[in-house]
Structures are given as structure tokens and as C-alpha cells.
Chain A
Amino acid sequence: MTHTRTLVLSAGAVLMASSAAAQTLTINSFGGAYEEAHRKCIITPFEEATGATVQVETAYSADGFAQLRAQAAAPQFDVMHFSGGQEIVAAREGLLAPIDPASLSNADGLVDAARPNLDGGEGPAYSIVAMGMLYNSEAVDGPTSWADLANPDWYEHLVLTDMSNTYGMQGFLMLNQVAGGSLDDIQPGLDMVTEMLDGGAIVVSTSPEIMQEFAQNDAWVAPYSSDYAFVMRDAGLPIGFNQGEEGTPGVYITANLVANRDNQELALQFIDMSISPEAQVCFAEEMSYAPTNVNAELTGEVAEATPFGAEALEGLIRFDPEVIEERRSEWVDAWNRTIAR
């Protein structure tokens, strides 16, 4: 009798444990101010709506991709967020699962650029970041074109970002383009960077470091992203943000469905929530991210602070992520040699 009861009890416990496990979703986020907004706009509302628990691991896109690859046989993430175009390679390697647009209730509202290849496994983009120039509005008149950054008087107060950072990569590719280079030839960009470094520019690798340079170390200008311009202004720093005349590279933040996981249905619900108008409006309010869903309507101050709406997306420069992934190794190597002391 006791034996039977113990058996029944433990079987029940096992069942409960497994259903609880199915209700846990593991995702990555990017830390800092971004992760706070991510929790507020998507993660917490999702937990309240579904009763599931979301486990958040902090990992930048490149790190996350490396983990995904290492775990190919037994993935530990359900939803993976990328900002550097890693989804294209990950999808090609079969690490991401195809998404049937019919399974996302909000997919219809997405602009085409935000859902280039759902069937192939590339998840939808749920926010877009504009690359431009941050400047200290108390120290300088803001640069209006990318070419303005090549101003020797500013070099000692110029902050560049390492290529390991998505924003650093995009900013560099834009400088390269302005200097006369292309995705086939980054030497003009490297030469420009060499000149800036010789003049006293510094290189950092993370967003908090950029903030620190502006807050404490007399930085004047930096090629960087609209979201952190917003965060820094929010923190009370005199920061302006200009888009360059030559164009504005857009960084697409995507939510991807990891292959070979057993609670993909829940993961799809999470991705669906990420592309919902409510979540996107919230993200715009928190960090000035541009929505990708045409139904996300921004009003008043938020609309002004956000560099563009969903309909303006087509005008953004997008450096071919496939080329970036293909040549990343070679570029990082060349970049390291250029910046090494």
C-alpha cells in the first residue's frame, strides 16, 4: 500500500515537474538598459499572459551565436535574439527552425524588410536601430555628415567602437563607405581609423563604456546608435544624435526560433508578442527603437525621438549580413592589426 502510494506520488511529482519544465522559456538578452526595456515590454507581459517563466541569459549576438553553435546537438535556448545578422548564418546551418507566418498573429503587420525569410528560419525583426553620430551638444555643433567625423580637431575626443560590437561593425562599415571603400575593400575605412587613432581617438567595446566616455572623459563625438543616444539623454547627459547625410545604416534586432527544442509553441507565442504593436510602442517609448509593425503607432514626443517610422524602413542602408558573416573573420583580423598598439 505504502509502496503504491509512493509510486503514485512520485509519478505525479514527475508529471508536474515536466509540465512545469515545458512552461519555462530560455532566451538571451543584451544586458544593461536594453535588458531592462526588454523585460518591461515583452518578458514580464509574456509571463503574466501565459503563466510561463522566462529565463534570461545575458549574451551579445556574437556570444549567443557561438553558444548556439556549441550546443547544436542539445540546444539550451528557446528564443535567440540577434542584432548582427547572425540569424542568416544560423538558419543556414539549421540551428534555427522555420516559422510558419500563419502561426504568428502579428506577422501580417510586419513590413517586408522585417520578415525576409521566415520559412527559411530567419526570425522576424522586432525593432530597428538607426546608426548615426552621437555628440556632446555642449562641446560641439553636431556633425551632419559621416565625413565630418574625419575632423582632426575632434580626434582627441572621438570614441570608436570595437568590431566585436554590432554597432561598432556597422559604424565602421559606414565610415569605410564614406572613405571610398566597399564590402569588397575595407582598406579605406581602416586607413581612416588609423588616422583617427594617431590623432588621439580611443576604442571601446561596450555601450556602458561609451556612456562613461561621454559622462566622465570629455568625449565629444562617436559613431553609434540611436538607442543609446536616447538612454544617455534620459540619464541627463547633453547628448545629441544626428543621422549622416550619406545615409543611415539600420540594425535589425530579430527574434529567432531555436531548432530541436520541445516547447516551440510557447517560443512562437513569445516571438509573436515581440512583434506585437504594444511591445513595439513600449520599446519605442523606453529606448526609441523604431517599430517594424505598421500597426505600432507612435505619438507625440516618442514619435519625435524615434528617428523614423515603420514606413521609412525601406530607406535605410543595410549592409549585406551574409557578406558580413562570410568576411567577419578576415575583417576582425584586419581591424585588430589596425588598432593594435
Chain B
Amino acid sequence: MTDRQENLLLLLPGIALLALAFLVPIAQMLVLAFQGPDGWTLDQFRRFLGDDFYRAVLWRTVRLSVLITALCLLIGFPLAYIMARVGPRARLWLIVMVILPLMTSVVVRTFGWMVVLSRSGLIPNTLRDMGLVGRAFSLMHTETAIVIGMVQVLLPFMALSILGVMMRIDPRLEEAARTMGCGFLQTLRTVVLPLAVPGIVAGSLLVFTLSASSFVTPNLLGGPRVQVLAASIYQQVTQTLDWNFAAAQAVILFVGVALVLIPYIALAGRVRRG
């Protein structure tokens, strides 16, 4: 047996699993999306894209995902920088703190937010006491709730991706910049930030795709009145049993994510090279 054959043999279980568990269902979904009662059709796509309601759901999904990614980056970058510059012990504690939300179940986590955000919760109550809002004010079942909940869950993906890259940046580069007259912020902007781009790209990709496709947290925190695309797909599959339409929405979600990601990756590549 040649090396090549041996390698192939070793790859086989992985490929078989991938094909069975991933490619087959995806292919099936693609077929479903273009199928109608009388053979091949684009009707499902026309129905989705020709309808203000569904376009609004798609737009909300993309808009919230962009916002969530931006917030994660805003919080994650400084956090990763500090984690990379403190001692190993403090770093460990910070990492534990960041990934702690991932260790609790999504239901428990969401109930925590309900306690804080619902009508009699901490924040609405405080705002009401200060006379800022009416008595029916609640943060539950709003886009704000979705953003808050999702940033909490997805922050580790961003912070740890950037941390990995940040750890490999030689601190002497910053020292050099400082000795040559750069201020702290200028050093961050001209030295650290460009070098951290691979981590930022990887983190943003993860956060964006995860938040665009996530379903449980937006559904629980957003409620039935604030639908995102994944929730709409779930509803078509389980309630109205319109699988063709669900498949078409899944394809649209995929294309929508790709449309945002491809220019982003290209842009980030240029920044890194330039």
C-alpha cells in the first residue's frame, strides 16, 4: 500500500461521516427548495422575496447579526488585549469568566435574562422608578433583548479568536513603537490592530454565522412577535409543515450570510496584505 492509499484509508471514516451527516441532508434541502407540486420551480423564492413581511424578517436577521458582531468586536478586542498582556494566572481567570456563559444551559441563561429584562425585572423596574418609562415597559420580547443575550453567548468566540493571535504578537513591537513616539492608542491602531486582523476576521466570521443561524436564544428572548429567519424556518418545518418553503428560506439565509461574508473576507485579506 502506498502512502497515498494509506492516507485515503485514514480519511475514509471522516469523509463518510461528513457525507452522511452533512452533505446528504444539505443536498436534500437544496432539492426541496426548488421543488413544487408540479416539478422544479422558483415559486418559494418568489414568495419569500416578493413579500414585505419575509423581507423584513431577513433584514432583521442580517441587521441584528451585524450589530451583534460589531458589539462583540468592540468588547472582545480590548478584552483580548488585556488578557494577552496580564500574567498567566489572571489570564486563566479571565478566560474562565468569558466562557462561563457557555457552560450554562441556554434555558437557564435565558431565564436569568428574563429576571433582569421582563416587566417586573431589575432594569425596567429601575427605569420606572426613575420615571423614565411607562408602567407596561419591558425589555423582554424586543430586539434589544436578543442583542444582549446573543452578545453574552457569542463574546467568547470573538475574544478567544483574537486572543490566540494577540498572544503571538511580540510585545517588543509595541515597546519599539512607544520608544519612537507613538502614544498608547496610536500603538494599538498602527501596530496591534493590523497584526490582530486574522483573529478579528476569524472571530467575526464565527460570531456572524452563529448569530445569523441561531434559533433558541432569539426565540426565547425575542418572543413570537420578533421573528428571525431561523425561527421562521423552524415554524415552517414543525407547524405549517411547508418544507419546501422552509428549505427555500434556509437557502436564502445561507446566501444572505455568504453575501455579507465574502466581501468581508476579501476586504480583510486586503487589509492584512496592505
- The reply to whether A62 and B239 form a contact with Cβ atoms under 8 Å apart is yes
Alpha-carbon gap, A321 to B237, bound state (A): 20
- The reply to whether A216 and B120 form a contact with Cβ atoms under 8 Å apart is yes
Alpha-carbon gap, A257 to B235, bound state (A): 26
- A239 lies within 8 A of chain B by Cβ: no
Contacts of B138 in A (CB 8 A): 202, 217
B residues near A (Cβ < 8 Å) are 53, 56, 114, 118-120, 135-136, 138, 141, 223-227, 235, 237-242
CB distance from A195 to the nearest CB of B (A): 15
Which one of A100-108, A280-288, A289-297, A331-339 contacts B?
A331-339
Contact partner, B238, options A66, A204, A339, A340, Cβ 8 Å: A66
Task: For chain A, residues 43 to 97, give those with C-beta under 8 angstroms from any C-beta of chain B.
Answer: 62-63, 65-66, 69
Known contacts A200-B136, A202-B141, A217-B119, A164 near B241 by CB under 8 Å: no
Known contacts A162-B224, A217-B138, A328 near B240 by CB under 8 Å: yes
Alpha-carbon gap, A329 to B239, bound state (A): 8
Q: Would you mind naming 18 contact pairs between A and B with Cβ atoms under 8 Å apart?
A: A62-B238, A62-B239, A66-B239, A66-B241, A156-B136, A162-B224, A200-B136, A202-B141, A203-B225, A212-B118, A216-B118, A217-B118, A218-B120, A328-B240, A333-B240, A340-B53, A340-B225, A341-B225
Task: For chain A, residues 154 to 186, give those with C-beta under 8 angstroms from any C-beta of chain B.
Answer: 156, 162, 164
Contacts of A65 in B (CB 8 A): 241
Q: Which of B118, B120, B135, B238 counts the most A-chain CB atoms under 10 A from its CB?
A: B238
CB distance from A73 to the nearest CB of B (A): 14
B interface secondary structure, majority: loop
Contacts of A212 in B (CB 8 A): 114, 118
Contacts of B242 in A (CB 8 A): 329
Known contacts A69-B241, A216-B120, A156 near B135 by CB under 8 Å: yes
Contacts of B114 in A (CB 8 A): 212
- A205 lies within 8 A of chain B by Cβ: yes
Look across to chain B and name the residue whose beta carbon is closest to the beta carbon of A332.
Answer: B240
- The reply to whether B241 and A336 form a contact with Cβ atoms under 8 Å apart is no
Known contacts A200-B136, A212-B114, A205 near B238 by CB under 8 Å: no
Instruction: With A66-B238, A336-B235 given, name 14 new contacts (CB 8 A).
Output: A156-B135, A203-B225, A204-B223, A212-B118, A328-B239, A328-B240, A329-B241, A329-B242, A332-B235, A332-B240, A336-B53, A336-B224, A339-B225, A341-B226
Alpha-carbon gap, A337 to B54, bound state (A): 9
Contacts of B225 in A (CB 8 A): 197, 203, 339-341
- The reply to whether A339 and B240 form a contact with Cβ atoms under 8 Å apart is no
Alpha-carbon gap, A328 to B138, bound state (A): 31
Task: For chain A, residues 200 to 230, give those with C-beta under 8 angstroms from any C-beta of chain B.
Answer: 200, 202-205, 212, 216-218
Contacts of B238 in A (CB 8 A): 62-63, 66, 164
Nearest 5 A/B pairs, CB to CB: A329-B240, A162-B224, A217-B119, A156-B136, A200-B136
Contacts of A204 in B (CB 8 A): 223-224
Alpha-carbon gap, A69 to B241, bound state (A): 9
- The reply to whether A164 and B235 form a contact with Cβ atoms under 8 Å apart is yes
- The reply to whether A217 and B120 form a contact with Cβ atoms under 8 Å apart is yes
CB distance from B213 to the nearest CB of A (A): 19
CB distance from A323 to the nearest CB of B (A): 15
- The reply to whether A205 and B120 form a contact with Cβ atoms under 8 Å apart is no
CB distance from B242 to the nearest CB of A (A): 6
- The reply to whether B135 and A164 form a contact with Cβ atoms under 8 Å apart is no
Look across to chain B and name the residue whose beta carbon is closest to the beta carbon of A197.
Answer: B225
Alpha-carbon gap, A156 to B128, bound state (A): 15
Contacts of A337 in B (CB 8 A): 53
Alpha-carbon gap, A156 to B120, bound state (A): 13
CB distance from B207 to the nearest CB of A (A): 24
Look across to chain A and name the residue whose beta carbon is closest to the beta carbon of B118.
Answer: A217
CB distance from A8 to the nearest CB of B (A): 33
- The reply to whether B227 and A336 form a contact with Cβ atoms under 8 Å apart is yes
- The reply to whether B56 and A340 form a contact with Cβ atoms under 8 Å apart is yes
CB distance from A157 to the nearest CB of B (A): 8
Contacts of A205 in B (CB 8 A): 223-224
Alpha-carbon gap, A203 to B226, bound state (A): 10
